[in-house]
Amino acid sequence: MGLDVLVIGAGNAGLCAAITAVEAGCSVLVIDAAQKDMRGGNTRHTRNLRAMHDAPTDVLTDAYSFEEYFDDLMRVTKGLTNRELARLTLEKSAELTAWLGERGVRFQPALSGTLNLGRTNAFFLGGGRALLNSLCHHAEDLGVAFRYEAEVTELKMDDGFCHGVVLTDGEVLSAKRVIITAGGFEANLEWLAEGWGDAARNFLVRGTPHNRGAVLKSLLDQGARKVGELDQCHAVAIDARAPLTDGGIASRIDGVPFGLVINRNAERFYDEGEDFWPKRYAIWGRLVAGQPDQVAYAILDAEGVSRFMPSVFTPISADTIEDLADKLGLDAAATRRTVDAFNAACPDGPIDQSILDGQSTSGLTPEKTNWAARIETPPFTGYPLRPGITFTYMGVEVNDRAEILMEDGRPSRNLYAAGEVMAGNVLGQGYLAGIGMTIGGVFGRIAGAEAALRLNRPNNSTVTTKARA
Ligand SMILES: Cc1cc2nc3c(=O)[nH]c(=O)nc-3n(C[C@H](O)[C@H](O)[C@H](O)COP(=O)(O)OP(=O)(O)OC[C@H]3O[C@@H](n4cnc5c(N)ncnc54)[C@H](O)[C@@H]3O)c2cc1C
């Protein structure tokens, strides 16, 4: 067995692992199911990562303390997280931008879109694709080998030891250490249906079609310990006209807080103004998934439409609510009734989207508790919405060395995991924008360093795996 480290999956987590291992002197092969020009899975679609910092840095403003980050994580997960691994993730996030910068990744000032993340999140110049290209070039320069269109169907394991990685054509690869960075199973609608029922068949996949969970399934079938629940995931409301996979960021609809959202029966079903959009956008995929046929419609007027960044699809517009309903395939009279009832319940006065303005409807079920403004200025616009799944949380349990734990609690002897495939250790539910890339970067580096350490390769990297006590 000549190869030191085999990395399965060439996204952010895999590249961080591969680079760390090669820098420590290991021979490294990275394989990926995708063809070369589609390499990098969901990482291709990303824009930023969330990093702790005690003072302004060259890429982040102000400060974002460990305590604040930890509180944010506890709030969104409602405490459903492995606290030790969460602490490790947050603490190590402070090193990430400098580490990536030293390996060719460039950052830019925060985009001033709907999510307002300038203080907490570092934005990649050129987005996730540019990050991937920089990391791939750096890895290649250091001698990492890459193989594309190499899809793993299963792992050959014996008592927690992986002695073979089987590809679709039957070829078996082996290495002393194997790092699993093959993403979640969000593109496997059949598997999702086991948790979501038939509703999953109407989901759209925001990212790569390749994250189908074959490696995860093989691990779980052979005694790796499961973390997270089958139906926990990040899912947003996206334009129903988006393609089945890889629609990316441009299909997300951010106009929900500035209009109303109705289901197929023209009924409202949730408070569109519950909180600022960055704190609520990630629940709307699940909300739409709960509606008949997993479809909903955001309805706005000319004033509302001007308040957010539009999606890539042409808005569907009409001069009257009835005509709009016709174009959307909704019952015109029922839609009119819902809009009229909403308008009658709206307060007078302008809304202020920069604050939770308390401009609430009164007498509706459910109320819209902020930014309630009448839908009265034509043209009226509608966006059909579907649940867009970003990534799944059910994965394999790991320890603070990124080693995969087996059912008896012992770590595997040569298997590590990083990124989406183990994100559920930190994210039991909920989401904090930018933490997906942080989890992958932190655990990718740890996995690469630990694999090298176990092979007695000196590790020059600054990464340590000691969590904050
Ligand atoms: C539209 C969109 C926008 C996002 N924006 C952000 C953002 O701005 N910030 C953020 O933190 N997160 C964001 N995310 C989430 C983020 O993409 C992920 O958390 C992160 O990229 C995961 O990295 P990864 O390396 O674990 O997986 P990936 O980047 O998905 O890489 C997994 C790789 O494994 C390969 N693979 C899968 N199965 C196999 C197999 N059987 N054999 C071989 N190879 C296989 C895939 O081809 C893929 O290249 C976004 C996701 C989407 C879809």
Q: How many CA atoms lie within 13 A of 421 on its CB side?
A: 39
Distant-in-sequence, close-in-space partners of 182: CB < 8 Å, separation ≥ 6: 8, 9, 33, 152, 211, 213, 214, 215, 216, 421
Give distance in angstroms: CA of 13 to centre of ligand 1: 8
Which of 36, 42, 206, 251 has most ligand 1 atoms within 8 Å of its beta carbon, as the pocket-test mutant?
42
420 close to ligand 1 (CB < 6 Angstrom): yes
pLDDT for residue 465: 40
* Torsion angles phi and psi, residue 134, rounded to 5: -60, -45
17 close to ligand 1 (CB < 6 Angstrom): no
349 within 8 A of 373, measured Cβ to Cβ: no
Q: What is the distance between the alpha carbons of residues 375 and 455, in angstroms, rounded to a whole number?
A: 65
12 close to ligand 1 (CB < 6 Angstrom): yes
Give distance in angstroms: CA of 262 to centre of ligand 1: 31
Which segments of 117-176 does DSSP mark as H helices, in order? 127-141
Hey, whose CA ends up nearest to atom 12 of ligand 1? Answer: 436
249 close to ligand 1 (CB < 6 Angstrom): yes
238 within 8 A of 206, measured Cβ to Cβ: yes
Hey, whose CA ends up nearest to atom 1 of ligand 1? Answer: 248
First CA to last CA distance, the chain = 39
The three-state secondary structure class of 145 is strand
Which of 15, 32, 46 has most ligand 1 atoms within 8 Å of its beta carbon, as the pocket-test mutant?
46
Distant-in-sequence, close-in-space partners of 279: CB < 8 Å, separation ≥ 6: none
Residue 287, H or E segment: helix 284-289
388 close to ligand 1 (CB < 6 Angstrom): no
Residue type, position 193, single letter = A
Q: What is the distance between the alpha carbons of residues 98 and 59, in angstroms, rounded to a whole number?
A: 9
Distant-in-sequence, close-in-space partners of 312: CB < 8 Å, separation ≥ 6: 239, 250, 251
Give distance in angstroms: CA of 304 to centre of ligand 1: 33
Cβ neighbours around 229 below 10 Å, total: 15
Give distance in angstroms: CA of 62 to centre of ligand 1: 29
pTM summary value: 0.94
40 close to ligand 1 (CB < 6 Angstrom): yes
pLDDT for residue 468: 29
Hey, whose CA ends up nearest to atom 36 of ligand 1? Answer: 182
Q: What is the distance between the alpha carbons of residues 259 and 346, in angstroms, rounded to a whole number?
A: 12
Hey, whose CA ends up nearest to atom 50 of ligand 1? Answer: 46
448 close to ligand 1 (CB < 6 Angstrom): no
117 close to ligand 1 (CB < 6 Angstrom): no
Q: What is the mean pLDDT of each run of 10 residues along the chain (469 residues)?
A: 93 98 98 96 97 93 95 94 98 98 94 70 96 98 98 97 98 98 98 95 97 98 97 95 96 95 98 90 94 98 93 94 98 98 97 95 98 98 97 98 97 98 96 95 98 81 39
Q: Which residues are bridge partners to 155 per DSSP?
A: 165
DSSP per residue over 173-195, as a string? E--SEEEE----STT-HHHHHHH
Closest CA to 441 of 48, 174, 169: 48
Give distance in angstroms: CA of 183 to centre of ligand 1: 6
What letter does residue 398 receive in the DSSP assignment?
B
Looking from the CA of residue 47, the nearest atom of ligand 1 is: 8
Hey, whose CA ends up nearest to atom 26 of ligand 1? Answer: 419
Q: What is the distance between the alpha carbons of residues 452 and 416, in angstroms, rounded to a whole number?
A: 12
Which of 36, 43, 205, 445 has most ligand 1 atoms within 8 Å of its beta carbon, as the pocket-test mutant?
43
pLDDT for residue 310: 84
pLDDT for residue 126: 96
294: left (phi > 0), else alpha (psi -120 to 50), else beta?
left
The domains located in the chain, with CATH, are 5-232+393-454 (3.50.50.60), 239-388 (3.90.700.10)
Closest CA to 378 of 334, 320, 315, 339: 320
431 close to ligand 1 (CB < 6 Angstrom): no
89 close to ligand 1 (CB < 6 Angstrom): no
What letter does residue 134 receive in the DSSP assignment?
H
Hey, whose CA ends up nearest to atom 49 of ligand 1? Answer: 41
